[in-house]
């Protein structure tokens, strides 16, 4: 079952407030696997130094991410043409799959946010962001977006097991070299929960743990008992389902 086909979505007040300077596009049903894009409404000119620096930044990020699954880089010497960027694939992806997702992310951000001086795109398997200011390694626990399965499980054990699993992963993921954790829990003979948590790899262990803790709070505030939830915080991501959505558990 496709998660996005049965998902409901809500836009947090934080994103609504950003609409003054940014445009938000929710595209969770896209064939490209896009979840959302966020585009700064201010534009740069084709052929400008900003344009050239951005092209160079994208190449650096995609080259490094295809090898390591993650890249963070700065391109350009002086403002306003000095750009920061981050590209990260989900921790269970192979190098080949990360390379494919990275290329899709660049294509999507070029298409959805043409000539934007800052933008981000969340795909199912990777995330890309660039800005004309420094944002790398900085903790931000704002809720960016969530996807919520419309179905509920009313068994109290389900909610308890989901919370216990997510809390356990929130301890393991920050300690991981790739800031990623996944696991599963058996609720009953015919129901299991599969979960993953991930922070941006340039985050500190302490900041990663803080973001995941806030993400768990957000998840259960909005979606307690739902059989599938994805929460996209600014600095981390959480997800659980009743089916295996990753390659290994």
Residue 2: inside a domain: no
Q: Which of 131, 155, 172 is the last residue of a domain?
A: 131
Please tell me whether residues 184 and 237 are part of one structural domain: yes
Residue 248: inside a domain: no
Which tokens in the block code for residue 103? Answer: 């290329």
Residue 123: inside a domain: yes
The dihedrals phi and psi of 166, each to the nearest 5 degrees, come to: -65, -40
Residue 59: inside a domain: yes
Per residue of the chain (249 residues), what is the pLDDT tens digit? 333 333 445 555 444 444 445 565 655 444 458 999 999 999 999 999 999 999 999 999 999 999 999 999 999 988 889 999 999 999 999 999 999 999 999 999 999 999 999 999 999 999 999 999 999 999 999 999 999 999 999 888 999 999 999 999 999 999 999 999 999 999 999 999 999 999 999 999 999 999 999 999 999 999 999 999 999 999 999 999 999 998 765
Please tell me whether residues 32 and 57 are part of one structural domain: yes
CB 141 within 8 A of CB 214: yes
- Per-residue b/e over 114-145, b at no fewer than 16 CB within 10 Å? ebbbbbbbbbbbbbbbbbbeebeeebbbbbbb
Distance CA 212, CA 208 (A): 6
Tally of domains within the chain = 2
Instruction: Give me the CATH number covering residue 165.
Output: 3.30.430.20
Distance CA 225, CA 121 (A): 28
Q: Which of 109, 131, 153 is the last residue of a domain?
A: 131
Residue 246: inside a domain: no
Please tell me whether residues 185 and 120 are part of one structural domain: no
pTM (two decimals): 0.89
Helix or strand (DSSP H, E) at 118: none
* Domain assignment of residue 53, given as a range: 11-131
């Amino acid at each position: 079952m496709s998660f996005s086909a049965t998902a409901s979505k809500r836009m947090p007040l934080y994103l609504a407030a950003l609409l003054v300077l940014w445009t938000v596009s929710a595209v969770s049903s896209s064939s490209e696997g896009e979840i959302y894009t966020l585009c700064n409404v201010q534009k740069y000119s084709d052929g400008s130094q900003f344009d050239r620096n951005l092209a160079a930044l994208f190449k650096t990020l995609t080259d490094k991410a295809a090898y390591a699954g993650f890249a963070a880089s700065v391109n350009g010497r002086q403002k306003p043409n000095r750009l920061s960027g981050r590209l990260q694939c989900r921790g269970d992806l192979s190098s080949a799959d990360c390379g494919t997702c990275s290329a899709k992310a660049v294509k999507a951000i070029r298409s959805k946010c043409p000539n934007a001086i800052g933008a981000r795109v969340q795909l199912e398997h990777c995330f890309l962001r660039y800005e004309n200011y420094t944002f790398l390694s900085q903790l931000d626990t704002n809720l960016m977006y969530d996807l919520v399965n419309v179905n509920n499980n009313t068994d109290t054990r389900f909610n308890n097991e989901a919370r216990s699993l997510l809390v356990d992963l929130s301890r393991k993921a920050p300690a991981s070299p790739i800031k990623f954790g996944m696991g599963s829990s058996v609720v009953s003979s015919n129901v299991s929960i599969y979960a993953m948590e991930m922070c941006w790899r340039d985050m500190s262990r302490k900041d990663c743990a803080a973001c995941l803790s806030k993400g768990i709070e957000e998840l259960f505030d909005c979606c307690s008992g739902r059989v599938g939830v994805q929460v996209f915080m600014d600095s981390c991501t959480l997800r659980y389902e009743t089916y295996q959505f990753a390659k290994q558990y």
